[in-house]
Amino acid sequence: MNLYFEEESKRLNHKKIWKEAIIWIIEIALVIVIAYVTVNYTVERTTMIGESMNPTLQEGDKILISKLSYRFMEPKRYDVVVFKQSGSEHSYYNIKRVIGLPGETVQIANGNIYINGEQLTEPIAVEAVNIYGLAAEEIQLDENEYFVLGDNRNNSEDSRFANVGNVLSDDIIGKAWIRMNNFNFIDKINRNKEVE
């Protein structure tokens, strides 16, 4: 009689161990899936390199990228976007502000930006543009292209130059969302009080 209880107890104990092991494996798999989805489809962290987005973003600022932002809507004018140049050999991200939208024309003349022939009044504080680059002539954007500029307009490598050019929608990683050091939403930084 005692032998039967011992064997039954061992069998139940083995079942319990297997059940706990299976639950443990499922929990680990779920954590891995959640981490993968978070990193690849929701948010990512990057660091601002260079001075091209001064005064909005500074060299070394830690930026949280919202990768979900453009899964449900298109980038808007003045969004600060993070993109990787297609066909480019470097592995770092670019961070710039959207100025021209798909289908529009962009030109820079007399220190001002013109969209479809009308002067742009920006809601951010920036200097007049001294370097026109390719935008000295009118640029027609295709249906999947954006024209981007750095906020440090006279010290930025952006859509005005052939090595960057117009940014394809497929190359946009996401929206620069939060500056993590000196915490602030990037949309709220460097607003032009005269325009608001």
Helix (H) or strand (E) holding 34: helix 2-37
Q: Residue 118 is which amino acid?
A: E
Residue whose entry in the numeric block shows the structure tokens 């706990």: 20
52, 66, 69, 159: the catalytic one is 52
- For the record, the structure tokens of 83 come out as 């993109």
C-beta of residue 62 within 8 angstroms of C-beta of residue 47: yes
Which is catalytic among the residues 67, 96, 159, 175? 96
- Identify whether 9 is a catalytic site residue: no
CB 126 within 8 Å of CB 153: yes
Question: 77, 103 in Cβ contact below 8 A?
Answer: no
Annotated catalytic, 52? yes
Query: What are the C-alpha distances in Å from 99 to residues 20, 67, 79, 160?
Result: 56, 20, 8, 11
The residues annotated as belonging to the active site are 52, 96
